[in-house]
Amino acid sequence: MCGLAGFLGEPVPGGEQGALLERMITRLQHRGPDGYGFHVEPGVGLAHARLSIIDLATGEQPIRNADGSTWTVFNGEIFNYVELRATLEAQGHRFYTQSDTEVIVHLYDRYGDAFVEHLNGQFAIVVWDRRRRRLVLARDRVGIRPLFYRRSGGTFWFASEMKALFAAGTGQATLAPAALAQALTFWGTLDPDTVFEDVHSLPPGHLLTIESDGREHLRPWWDWDFDAATGAGARWRGRNRDQAVAELRELLVDAVRLQLRADVPVGAYLSGGLDSSGLVALARRFSDAPVRTFSVAFADAEFDERAHQQAMVAHLGCAHTTLEVDRAAIGAAFPRLIWHTETPVLRTAAVPLMLLSAAVRAAGYKVVLTGEGADEVFGGYDLFKEAKVRRFWARQRDSRWRPRLLERLYGYLANSPVRSPAFAQAFFGQGLEHLHRPVFAHVPRWTTSARALAFLSPQARAACADFDPLAFVEARLPVRAGTWSPLARDQYVEAHTLLSGYLLWSQGDRVAMANSVEGRVPYLDHRVIEFANALPAHWKLRGLTEKDILRRALADLLPPDIAARPKQPYRAPDAASFFVDGEPLDYVADLMSTDRLRATGLFDPVPAGRLFDKARAGRVAGFADNQAFVGILSTQLVDHLFVRGGGLP
């Protein structure tokens, strides 16, 4: 895992280009503290910050092919590089390192832009084709590793994080109100948008090419796909589900085996739920690698899962570290989180994960496996179950018992929306009129999140007056989505909003790389995704039992109560983390003051001030107010850190 940066064009006179690249890449030192590498020639510059994990001795980047006509800088891992290298060597290619990176230049030489289709990994790649004077940017299938770009002054710039673009002097960082509306609704912006004007994120599974004459071409090379509704599960029709369970088990074993490849020790996060417990059990059972585990625990009992974590540790007998996090630690570390995420967030849950990655690094580990992605791939979220009940209800809206099925959900919440049947029906009844729209499942969540938009200033509200979240997402859905099952559509939308825009970004890459730790996600191996997407929907969501086939595939590896444990989403204390005995932390008092809100110009100081007073009084309890408060505060921090260039408070 690493950081990369560079340019295509002539930004400054020759001798100063090296200094400019150095300024960009040193801003990413946290992503690659083990060394820097540069390649500069007329019209192009590549820079790399290395976190050495594979080929510790000779894996420095940039890396070239044999005659120096193809160069690359790369952030991520190619897990099948051993097999790719053997094939390429048999075809006559000669290697000068043992690095996974070197297969990229040889694959590009052999297959052109189709090189990316041969990769099993998580990556952001930049290839410089010197002969054709052509730059190629590629991003992994689901968006595990970031890659940003912008054009400025006739030069094309790229980097692993936006702060490196700003360090190059590519132009002022300016917040875009329309993009902010996305972030406050979907929990993140949808690629290629970012919250900054004229700064773009390469979408997952896409290639961007810049030709010698300046022409740019952005195209997809992979996407989530599902069997059409008329043939849902056609591959499995007439076959026993046990066959699918056995195939899934075999596939998961291989995904974990590949992702344990490293020349450094590999650890694992253990939440106490099915997904991470299953990964650790697979690693213990089917590899020779000792696996050290790490967990977050909370002083607040509502969020704490340590009893389940300890049960799993006792079951596996693995060495384990528990990091207990309290509200004070979250409040203190929040500004640093925003420095790394570079975007507003609606929850504080990423902070404990950032603190945990520091503990991982302090224990001498650079790599951890995480259970991220299983919920999107196998239908694990309450949202999928909630949508199933709401669809059932919407077809007979005057039914009195159908909506009561919702009472089976959200039992883990202290302030559960289903504690009152009347409230549950009012809350989940939102958007029933959208039954036939592909974004039906997401209406309650986005309606709750978008209440933050009510705090926008009149100017900001006017700038995003045309923002229709349902239509915005539907316009980005593939035509074929209309033939998919409802669960498939729900999974697709989830993968392209919450997963890529928040979980893999603010709660994934950024908080791990803040402490130079690489997270690996075996459930997002593309073979696992493609396998799961071909399954009948009811093998994933059976009644209201989520991830049924995954439970069956892992059952014999886990204690019975872990294998049967319902999904409990990972959460952390939100607005309460920013106050001590009713007094705000100093930076919170400053950023939420009337003067600072007015200076930023994005939020109306009057309603935002009322929300601040409510939070200070400890009366913010529901999702909507908590998310709005965290969203406003984090936006103020983005403005402070990147637009105004203020330091960390």
Give the span between the Cα atoms of 593 and 226, in whole angstroms: 49
Buried b (16+ CB within 10 A) or exposed e, 75-95: bbbbbbbeebbeebeeeebeb
**Distance separating alpha carbons of residues 434 and 420, to the nearest angstrom:** 24
**Placement of tokens 């908080």 in the chain:** 511
Which parts of 493-634 are beta strand (E)?
518-520, 579-580, 583-584
End-to-end, the C-alpha distance of the chain in Å comes to: 28
Q: Which amino acid is at 220?
A: P
Residue among 219, 202, 121 at smallest CA distance from 157: 202
Give which of 504, 551, 231, 513 is closest to 378, Cα–Cα.
551
Residues near 259 by beta carbon (within 8 Å), at least 6 away in sequence: 77, 79, 369, 520, 521, 522, 525
Phi, psi (rounded to 5 degrees) for 441: -60, -30
Q: Under the phi-then-psi rule, with left for phi > 0, alpha for psi from -120 to 50, and beta for the rest, what region is 97?
A: beta
φ/ψ (deg, to 5) at 397: -65, -20
Q: Which H/E stretch holds residue 634?
A: helix 623-638
Q: From the CB of residue 630, how many other CB atoms can be counted at a distance below 10 Å?
A: 24
Catalytic residue among 2, 84, 202, 638: 2
Is 342 in a helix, a strand, or coil?
coil
With contact defined as beta carbons under 8 Å apart, do 374 and 550 qualify?
Answer: yes
Q: Is 2 a catalytic residue?
A: yes
Task: List beta partners, residue 151.
Answer: 156
Which residues are known catalytic residues? 2
